[in-house]
Amino acid sequence: DLNAAVRFSNFMFADDRHPQIRGASFRIYSGDDYENPLFDLIFLTGDGRAVFPTADLALKVLKDHSHVMTLPPSHPLRDAHRCAVRKVPDSYAELHWFAIHTYSWHSTHWARFRFRHRDSNTNLPPYSNDVNCDLLDLRPDSHDQRDASFLKQRFSEECRSGDGQQYVIEVQIRPKSKDEQLDLKLQDGLIPWDDCPWQPFADVVLDNPLPDTVVEGLRFNVVNSPADVEIVCGADAHHPASSAHARAITYAIASHVRCGIMLPDYLAAFSNKNPSPYLLNTLQGSTTERPTVVVIGGGVSGSAAAMSLERRGY
């Protein structure tokens, strides 16, 4: 048997009382070695469609969330965001979680497959899209007097009681298409795989909350996976895999910095301390257009990375 750890997070606001997108990072590891993952699985609320399907769309949404509302009501990105923004639950255990990207898997015979995964509490009814949240008004209920971190506190209590919290991780698997255009289309996070059945992957029991000091040191990242599994890399900012690719790089840099670990060369190249060549023009008031860098990932680490890039002229 293997062990598992999970860290839940709020994607848009630190306060649990806000309706918002929420995230869950699952780590599968051996024995007590939680710092060396066998597999990290990253989930978001919603129905499985990506809220950041490409890096260029992520840039537009992160700069101004109202961009989503300018899209036609039938646009899949707008509907994906509407599904991902959930009402405030009474517990993290009430939420369904879906993967934020598509994986590539090489079988023992070197056949190549694509797969997605989801996760939910075994006591939950089937997923239902009953959100109806206004994407431009995500204020908390003024009468909600619960603590700003009540979801974390409640889930810890639920894990300690009885048999803990039981989850099932499921996967969708399909052969990689020999048609490159079709394969590219199937990587599009806004296109659900309705023709592909969900299959059980792992049963998980959460019954022992880890200390905050341990959890904060866990550097979750989608690149932490078995040798025959990998994320699909994006060729450019418009590629369906570009969002997950950029997120993996950002998470790696942010987690190294947060834990005080020196960046390896391949990451340092993305985080060069030399000023951007555009910084001098910026300081001199030049109107020359600067390249825009999008930092995918909320919280303190993402904000710090964004501010650092801004100071360097990006």
Contacts of 44 (CB under 8 A, 6+ apart): 11, 21, 22, 23, 24, 51, 84, 97, 98, 100
Q: What is the mean pLDDT of each run of 10 residues along the chain (314 residues)?
A: 88 89 91 90 86 78 71 81 86 88 80 90 78 69 92 92 90 91 85 90 90 82 86 79 79 79 78 55 53 62 67 66
Task: Look up the CATH architecture of domain 3-271.
Answer: Beta Barrel (2.40)
- Predicted confidence at residue 187, as pLDDT, reads 83
Structure tokens at 96: 């369904």
Alpha helices in the chain (DSSP H): 55-63, 76-84, 150-160, 180-186, 212-216, 242-258, 265-268, 279-283, 299-311
Angle at 306 between CA 49 and CA 297, to 5 degrees: 25
In whole angstroms, what is the distance from residue 308 CA to residue 314 CA? 9
- Predicted confidence at residue 283, as pLDDT, reads 45
- Predicted confidence at residue 282, as pLDDT, reads 45
DSSP 170-235: EEEEEEPPSSHHHHHHHT-TTS--TTS--EEEEEEEE--PPPHHHHHT----TT---TTEEEPPPS
Angle at 87 between CA 128 and CA 255, to 5 degrees: 100
In whole angstroms, what is the distance from residue 139 CA to residue 79 CA? 20
Task: Give start-end residues of each CATH 2.40.180.10 domain in the chain.
Answer: 3-271
Identify any residues that bridge with 120 across adjacent strands, giving them in sequence order.
168
In whole angstroms, what is the distance from residue 22 CA to residue 8 CA? 7
- Predicted confidence at residue 268, as pLDDT, reads 76
- Predicted confidence at residue 287, as pLDDT, reads 53
